[in-house]
């Protein structure tokens, strides 16, 4: 997998507004927020997209989703929030490193664009 902007963030080469970190995960504020709270949760392991995850990543994927929940609680999204994982070109993915968006602090509409 080629390097991405998120790889640089993991290595500390690009500053971010860090919200949460553990051995497997980073969470930081999105640079172009689409809601009052917009946080990205990423694995430190370079997986390019959900489609590239394998059975070996099963525990990591569970950890990431529980990290999403932990971060949402940490920032006070007690009234709900949206979790988005854009996958590939038609999914609108622009950074080729698996990530979950947490969007909150406003009422979300459906369907997404």
Residues carrying an active site annotation: 99
The residues pairing with 100 across neighbouring beta strands, listed in sequence order, are 41
Residue tagged 């609680």 (tokens): 73
Q: Based on C-alpha coordinates, what's the Rg of the chain?
A: 14
Grouping H, G, I as helix, E, B as strand and the rest as coil, residue 15 is coil
Per-residue contact flags (x/-) with ligand 5GP for residues 61 to 90, judged by CB under 6 A: -------------------------x----
Specify the residue, 59 or 108, whose C-beta has the smaller distance to ligand 5GP: 108
In the complex, the residues that contact ligand 5GP under the rule CB under 6 A are 5, 14, 16, 28-32, 40, 86, 92-95
């Amino acid at each position: 997998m080629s390097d991405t902007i998120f790889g640089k963030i993991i290595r500390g080469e690009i500053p971010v507004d860090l919200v949460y970190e553990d051995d497997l995960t980073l969470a930081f504020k999105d640079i172009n927020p689409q809601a009052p709270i917009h946080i990205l949760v990423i694995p430190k392991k370079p997986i390019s997209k959900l489609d590239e995850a394998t059975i070996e990543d099963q525990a990591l994927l569970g950890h990431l989703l529980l990290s999403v929940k932990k971060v949402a609680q940490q920032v006070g999204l007690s009234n709900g929030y949206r979790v988005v994982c854009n996958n590939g070109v038609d999914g609108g993915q622009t950074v080729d490193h698996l990530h979950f968006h947490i969007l909150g602090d406003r009422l979300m509409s459906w369907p997404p664009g």
